[in-house]
């Protein structure tokens, strides 16, 4: 099996959740790929099939950082056939995160968006690198603007961004205002950019724009994470935007949703990958369960490019 490390892993370890939300002790990890060892009655999977999946963020003590993974079959789908199986473990959580919030915003493939622009924050990261590809090659946005450091600018353009903003030297709102605003934003940066994005004075959002906010906590530990006000800020802004839309049709719509396991969604994602529209972006591989601490520490630096994958030694099978 292979295990895709993600920020949700170390954030969940860092933050103490009630046992009814996250049973203890809990195996770390949500993303996985491998082959089926056994399948329950009524599932469509067969022993030996290559699969990939995302385990629930809440309500389960099972995780994917193990030689054998067990979960509800609905968390899995057959893996893409055009990429290595270990690379597929980098896709489920980031792919479903982006796809689900875009679908909530009514952004689907096949619509004409050649004249529209999307802004992707943290475009070199795990969610951002997937979102750039998806926005450009699946949703068909004519322009995709990605924020990243100068060293990642060429890489982000290779993924499909038509322009980049070096956030270390230029406030993103100035660059966006210079092009007349954007029609949609994908923001995985917790609460860091929400106020700056929504402030009408900054000119980031065009009339009727969609602001897709990824529910998250700050990269660095801080006291605000434990605040109920912080936790509810995303849902509050979402429903507030619905209410305002009733009286101001051109006001921006805010979408924010926790990602959920979705085997059917992963099946669609596999087809998108096999059609060559998106690919997993893996910044670094680690080998064996013994490398998990090193992999987590590397990811926590906040400078990983794309996803981090641990190739787990031992039984190369997974249970669905």
Q: What percent of the chain has pLDDT over 90?
A: 60
Burial per residue of 177-214, b for 16 or more beta-carbon CB atoms within 10 angstroms, e otherwise: eeeebbbbbbbbbbbebbeebbeeebbbbbeebbbbbb
List the CATH number of the domain containing 243. Answer: 3.40.50.720
How many structural domains comprise the chain?
Answer: 2
pLDDT-derived band at 176 (thresholds 50, 70, 90) equals very high
What is the per-residue pLDDT for 1?
80
- Residues 110, 235: one domain? yes
- Could you tell me if residue 266 is inside a domain? no
Residue 18 has pLDDT above 90, yes or no: no
- Residues 211, 99: one domain? yes
What's the mean pLDDT in 32-42?
92
What is the per-residue pLDDT for 47?
95
What is the per-residue pLDDT for 291?
92
For residue 4, give the nearest of 293, 314, 312 by alpha carbon: 312
Residues 6+ apart with CB under 8 A from 285: 86, 308, 309, 310, 311
pLDDT-derived band at 315 (thresholds 50, 70, 90) equals very low
- Residues 211, 123: one domain? yes
- Residues 126, 244: one domain? yes
- Could you tell me if residue 264 is inside a domain? no
For residue 281, give the nearest of 291, 290, 273 by alpha carbon: 273
- Residues 82, 108: one domain? no
- Could you tell me if residue 274 is inside a domain? no
pLDDT by residue (tens digit) across 186-244? 999 867 898 899 999 999 999 999 999 987 655 555 565 556 666 677 777 787 888 88
What is the per-residue pLDDT for 222?
57
- Could you tell me if residue 169 is inside a domain? yes
- Residues 249, 124: one domain? yes
Report the distance separating Cα 319 and Cα 59, nearest Å: 19
- Residues 186, 102: one domain? yes
Structure tokens at 7: 């920020």
What's the mean pLDDT in 306-317?
72
Task: Pinpoint the alpha helices (H) of 248-313.
Answer: 263-274, 292-300
List the CATH number of the domain containing 299. Answer: 3.90.180.10
What is the per-residue pLDDT for 211?
96
Residue 296 has pLDDT above 50, yes or no: yes
- Residues 251, 103: one domain? yes
Residue range of the domain that includes 235: 95-256
pLDDT by residue (tens digit) across 241-267? 888 888 888 999 999 878 999 999 999
- Could you tell me if residue 267 is inside a domain? no
DSSP 68: S
- Residues 183, 210: one domain? yes
- Could you tell me if residue 126 is inside a domain? yes
- Could you tell me if residue 273 is inside a domain? no
pLDDT-derived band at 22 (thresholds 50, 70, 90) equals confident
- Residues 82, 107: one domain? no
- Residues 213, 252: one domain? yes
Q: Kindly report which listed range (9-23, 99-113, 213-227, 304-318) carries the lowest average pLDDT score.
A: 213-227
Q: What percent of the chain has pLDDT over 70?
A: 89
Residues 6+ apart with CB under 8 A from 161: 120, 123, 132, 136, 144, 145, 146
What is the per-residue pLDDT for 287?
93
What is the per-residue pLDDT for 60?
82
- Could you tell me if residue 318 is inside a domain? no
- Residues 85, 208: one domain? no
Q: Which residue has the higher pLDDT, 59 or 140?
A: 140
Report the distance separating Cα 52 and Cα 92, nearest Å: 7
């Amino acid at each position: 099996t292979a295990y895709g490390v993600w920020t949700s892993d170390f954030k969940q370890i860092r933050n103490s959740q009630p046992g009814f939300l996250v049973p203890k002790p809990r195996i770390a990890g949500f993303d996985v790929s491998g082959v089926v060892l056994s399948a329950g009655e009524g599932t469509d999977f067969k022993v030996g099939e290559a699969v990939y999946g995302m385990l629930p963020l809440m309500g389960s003590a099972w995780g994917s950082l193990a030689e054998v993974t067990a979960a509800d079959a609905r968390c899995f789908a057959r893996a893409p056939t055009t990429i290595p199986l270990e690379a597929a473990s980098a896709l489920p959580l980031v792919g479903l995160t982006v796809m689900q919030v875009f679908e909530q915003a009514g952004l689907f493939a096949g619509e004409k968006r050649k004249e529209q622009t999307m802004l992707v924050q943290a475009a070199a990261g795990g969610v951002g690198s997937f979102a750039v590809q998806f926005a450009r090659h699946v949703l068909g946005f004519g322009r995709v603007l990605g924020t990243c450091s100068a060293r990642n600018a060429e890489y982000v353009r290779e993924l499909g961004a038509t322009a980049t903003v070096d956030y270390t030297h230029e406030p993103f709102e100035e660059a966006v205002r210079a092009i007349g605003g954007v029609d949609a934003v994908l923001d995985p940066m917790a609460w860091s950019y929400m106020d700056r994005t929504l402030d009408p004075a900054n000119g980031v959002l065009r009339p009727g724009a969609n602001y897709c906010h990824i529910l998250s906590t700050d990269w660095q530990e801080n006291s605000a994470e434990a605040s109920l006000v912080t936790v509810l800020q995303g849902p509050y802004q979402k429903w507030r935007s619905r209410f305002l839309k009733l009286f101001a049709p051109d006001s921006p719509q805010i979408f924010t949703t926790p990602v959920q396991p979705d085997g059917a969604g992963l099946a669609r994602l596999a087809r998108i990958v096999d059609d060559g529209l998106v690919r997993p972006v893996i910044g670094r591989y680690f080998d064996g369960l013994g490398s998990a601490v090193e992999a987590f520490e590397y990811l926590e630096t906040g400078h990983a490019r794309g996803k981090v994958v641990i190739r787990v030694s031992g039984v190369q099978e997974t249970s669905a």
